[in-house]
Amino acid sequence: MAKTIQAIRGMNDLLPEQTAAWQQVEAMIRQVAASYGYQEIRMPVLESTALFKRSIGEVTDIVEKEMYTFDDRNGESVTLRPEGTASCVRAGNQHGLLYNQIQRLWYIGPMFRYERPQKGRYRQFHQFGIETFGLEGADADAEVILLSARLWQAFGIADQVELQLNSLGSNEARARYREALREYLDQYKSELDEDSQRRLDTNPLRILDSKDANTQQLLAQAPKLSDYWDEASKQHFEELTARLDAAGIQYVFNERLVRGLDYYNRTVFEWVTTALGAQGTVCAGGRYDGLVEQLGGKATPAVGFAMGMERLVLLLQEQNKLAPRRAVDAYLMPLGEAAELNAQAVAEKLRNELPDLRIIVHSGGGAMKKQIKKADKSGAEVALILGDNELENNQLTVKPLRTTDDQQTLGWSELIVALKPLTQE
Ligand code: ATP
Ligand code: MG
């Protein structure tokens, strides 16, 4: 026998038993995004490598070691997108959506990063993202946070996630702080963990979220980012927290939250859970006022977030918050040759009347007993029996499969009334 081919490590199939849960989550996301007036944008999964180098930053984890980059047949360097914001800005610039306009956009789709696969961390994963363009006020930051908070509410997991909040200040403030931090840590260079030593020269801010205990201890006495905030950023942050307070959104001020992508300024935030082990961040975002211009557009303020769909689904499953609709409501069983000939036509009529009814027509004939077994296995709530009598009288016999209720032979209009509730469960 030929050897079977396996999927690439870290890239998962979603089987039918899982897709129902995903569809349920996606439906909620669409509904909530729409309820804030956000519109969907779809971007290609493959982009020029330069796009990500220029936006995410050359010395970030993503660009240094996580991107799927290769030359296409024309010798051009292309990359499977590791995130959505850069693509969204590229698309906005290319199609003139951003300058002097307000856009509220969302996207959902696969992202690709070459990481060590583990629970909540994969090489192909999915993000739902929100991007708001053209608004510089803190009300826009509050809006995207409120939108994410509404999702937790809608899913019943608001008590499982904590909002962590920080401000990076202006680019100048951040640059001054970076120097101060570098100078401070340079004194203890040999005591830092290996990763942090390397980052000291390239990206010292990332040292702030080092997991190394000794490094963390050294950071306790380090200069504070908030001491370097410029006045306007400080005020912006206060306006944001005032709005969150007014809306009853709780948050924790996390001085060390800096995020791993270069394009952020001012607000950064993460929604974190303790329920998923090490991969605890389900949603992360912030403001990126410089990115549109950096990618060739006219300066346009922007703020957004990305939510990790796998982590969200994992969390919802662990909390038992998903109860997707059953895949099949009714299983139509034709008994006899004439019934078999007409069964599909009868099912078509039912679908005309009840577009939300999920009905399978038994295929392959066989006795009542065999068909009942298949009906049961399909997960259907009821079997619909079509015998010679029923066919002649324009009736169907409804046999409950999940309760001990008696079966009933019903005429067409009664049948529609009886089946309707199944479409609404
Ligand atoms: P982490 O610190 O977990 O590596 P990150 O800072 O790299 O996350 P972002 O680039 O901000 O993550 O992406 C936003 C969200 O996308 C993350 O909070 C997480 O929920 C999800 N995510 C990121 N990388 C992965 C991955 N490899 N597999 C699954 N989900 C991911
Ligand atoms: Mg990462």
DSSP line for 312-329: HHHHHHHTT---PPPS-S
Work out the average pLDDT over 172-196: 93
pLDDT digits (tens, 9 = 90+) for 53-84: 999 998 889 999 999 999 999 999 999 999 99
Find the distance separating the first CA and the last CA of the chain, reported in whole Å. 46
Task: Report d(CA 231, CA 234) in Å as an integer.
Answer: 5
Distance of CA 401 to the CA centre of its chain: 36
Ligand 1 binding residues, C-beta < 6 A:
83, 113, 115, 120-122, 125, 127, 260, 279, 281-284, 306, 308, 310-311
Tokens of 50: 């330069």
pLDDT digits (tens, 9 = 90+) for 124-134: 999 999 999 99
pLDDT digits (tens, 9 = 90+) for 363-414: 999 999 999 999 999 999 999 999 999 999 999 999 999 999 999 999 999 9
Which pLDDT value is given to residue 347? 98
Edge-first strand order for the sheet with 252-253 is 39-40, 103-112, 124-133, 302-308, 281-287, 265-272, 162-167, 252-253
Q: What is the position in ligand 1's atom list of the atom closest to the CA of 312? A: 20
Average pLDDT, the chain: 96
Ramachandran angles phi, psi of 96, nearest 5°:
65, 35
Task: Report d(CA 236, CA 244) in Å as an integer.
Answer: 13
Which pLDDT value is given to residue 262? 83
Q: Which among 176, 192, 295, 271 has a CA at the least distance from the CA of 233?
A: 176
Task: Report yes or no: 144 and 131 within 8 Å, Cβ to Cβ.
Answer: no
Q: Which among 370, 385, 380 has a CA at the least distance from the CA of 330?
A: 380
Which pLDDT value is given to residue 187? 94
Torsion-angle region of 224 (φ positive above 0: left; ψ -120 to 50: alpha; else: beta): beta
Instruction: Establish whether 259 is an annotated binding residue.
Output: yes
Q: What percent of the chain has pLDDT over 90?
A: 93
**Those residues with Cβ within 8 angstroms of residue 66's Cβ, 6 or more apart along the chain or in another chain:** 82, 113, 114, 115
Task: Report d(CA 327, CA 221) in Å as an integer.
Answer: 57
Which pLDDT value is given to residue 1? 82
Work out the average pLDDT over 150-157: 98
Instruction: Establish whether 404 is an annotated binding residue.
Output: no
Confidence of residue 340 (pLDDT cuts 50, 70, 90): very high
Instruction: Establish whether 81 is an annotated binding residue.
Output: no
Confidence of residue 338 (pLDDT cuts 50, 70, 90): very high
Query: What's the half-sphere exposure (Cβ side, CA atoms, 13 Å) at 83?
Result: 27
Which pLDDT value is given to residue 381? 97
Tokens of 188: 């203890």
pLDDT higher than threshold 90 for residue 169: yes
Q: What structural domains and CATH numbers belong to the chain?
A: 16-170+230-318 (3.30.930.10), 330-424 (3.40.50.800)
298 Cα to the center of ligand 1, angstroms? 29
**Those residues with Cβ within 8 angstroms of residue 312's Cβ, 6 or more apart along the chain or in another chain:** 25, 128, 155, 282, 283
**Smallest-distance ligand from the CA of 81:** 1
Distance of CA 61 to the CA centre of its chain: 21
